[in-house]
Amino acid sequence: MDKKAIINKSIDYILAHFAEPISIEDVSKHLSFSKYYFCRMFKEVIGESVYSFIKRLRVEQSAIDLKLQKDRQITDIGLDYCYSASNYSSIFKDYYQCSPSDYRKSLETSIISNPFYPDKQEVLDTFEAYQFKVEVIELTDLHVIYERTLGNYHDLKNCWTSLVEKSAYYDDTAIMIEKFYNDPAVATRENSICDLCFTITEPLADENTMIISGGKYAVYPYQGTIDGLFRVLQGLFRIWLPESGYHMREKYGLTIYRAIDWENEYVQLDMCIPIQ
């Protein structure tokens, strides 16, 4: 197993446990490596220390929870990620230059800045507008080949082109899926985690494969240009989901592509949120 595959396994473990008081020793032990060798390898591959990576994930996910769980006490959300009240506020300020309470207040406006187009102000739709389009359906398990990317969501077009061109298993019957773990409104711009996936009929021993679990999903169909995706995604998570009565059951979302015109940056896709 190469270093990138090993680090991907470590990230899988961290993503599954980062809301728990896990340590670097826990992660290295899971992989059967010494702590010091694993830390050097992680920094070499990711460009960030394990400690910094886990800390950032916790803060970013807590910011998502502040958005989704509007009625919960801020201190309780901090505790969910192993932070005392004072530590949480201090660490949050280090990342976002404002307190958790001020950040929550900033979510009350329906006009937001687009991090990919800094001069663009996005106006979010009403709950009723999103509710009209959202459909709650059961998805089946999906067997996929995947490649993990850590970087800017804005660069995914080039990543997709590279993956499709080099894979011997991609054909016109495959469905392209993005499994994203970060909210681009709160994530550090160059450190967003996204798995680029395409469907296969059965597992393959010589490829990175996984099963995307099925179950209940809220599905929003989108047709339009790529630069409109951010506004719709923020509306779903900031307006629709908190008022819908549903809760996310997993800490990721899916983008399932139905048609893509890369040249004109036009897409037809389903935005899927795992709910309960």
The CATH number of the domain where 231 resides is what?
A: 3.20.80.10
Can you give the pLDDT at residue 235? 95
Neighbouring C-beta atoms of residue 117, cutoff 10 Å:
12
User: Confidence class of residue 189 from pLDDT cuts 50, 70 and 90?
Assistant: low
Same domain as 66, residue 147: no
Q: How many domains does the chain have?
A: 2
Predicted TM-score of the model (pTM): 0.92
Domain that holds residue 162: 133-274
20 and 60 both lie in a single domain: yes
User: The tokens 């850590």 sit on which residue?
Assistant: 150
Give the pLDDT confidence score for residue 198 in this predicted structure. Answer: 95
Mark which of 71, 106, 141 sits at the end of a domain: 106
The more confident residue out of 191 and 23 is 23
pLDDT band at 140 (very low <50, low <70, confident <90, very high): very high
- The string of pLDDT tens digits covering residues 48-75 is 999 999 999 999 999 999 999 988 999 9
Which of 29, 20, 30 is CA-nearest to residue 54?
20
The pLDDT value given to residue 1: 63
Task: Report the percentage of the chain scoring pLDDT > 70.
Answer: 99
Does 73 lie in the same domain as 184? no
3-state SS string for 56-115: HHHHHHHHHHHHHCCCCCHHHHHHHCCCCHHHHHHHHHHHHCCCHHHHHHHCCCCEEEEC
CA 66 – CA 38 distance, rounded (Å): 33
Q: Is residue 124 part of a domain?
A: no
Provide the sign of the torsion angle of the four alpha carbons 156, 159, 160, 161, taken in this order: positive
Reported as a single tens digit per residue, the pLDDT across 73-130 is 999 999 999 998 889 999 999 999 999 999 999 998 889 988 888 888 999 999 999 9
Confidence (pLDDT) at 94: 92
Same domain (yes/no): 77, 165: no
The verdict on 94 and 156 lying in the same domain is: no
In this structure, are 173 and 88 located in the same domain?
no
In the predicted structure, residue 153 carries a pLDDT above the cut 90: no
